[in-house]
């Protein structure tokens, strides 16, 4: 079973979902969508697949921008 499936099962059991923080092993758009559908936000590092990534593409960047508003 994939990490995402375990994570979705855990999130589904929560009464309230605010922010889900996870390492890059959970980096998938379907999981992010699942959390958003439950009313939460994600803070998940992006997988870099051996390349430099744009730090602004990380969930933490978007979360910080929202909190500064």
Structure pTM? 0.68
In terms of Cα–Cα distance, which of 34, 62, 58, 33 is closest to 48?
58
**Which residues, 6+ apart, have CB-to-CB distance to 12 below 8 Å?**
38
In terms of Cα–Cα distance, which of 59, 56, 57 is closest to 32?
59
The pLDDT tens digits of the residues spanning 15-37 come to 999 999 988 888 889 999 999 99
Residue 61 clears pLDDT 60, i.e. is over it: no
The pLDDT tens digits of the residues spanning 29-58 come to 999 999 999 999 999 888 776 666 565 656
CA distances in angstroms from 14 to 3, 33, 40, listed in the order given:
17, 16, 11
């Amino acid at each position: 079973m994939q990490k995402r499936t375990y994570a979705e099962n855990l999130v589904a059991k929560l009464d309230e979902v605010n922010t889900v923080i996870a390492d890059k092993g959970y980096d998938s758009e379907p999981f992010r969508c699942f959390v958003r559908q439950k009313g939460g936000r994600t803070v998940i590092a992006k997988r870099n697949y051996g390349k430099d990534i744009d730090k602004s593409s990380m969930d933490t960047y978007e979360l910080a921008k929202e909190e500064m508003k």
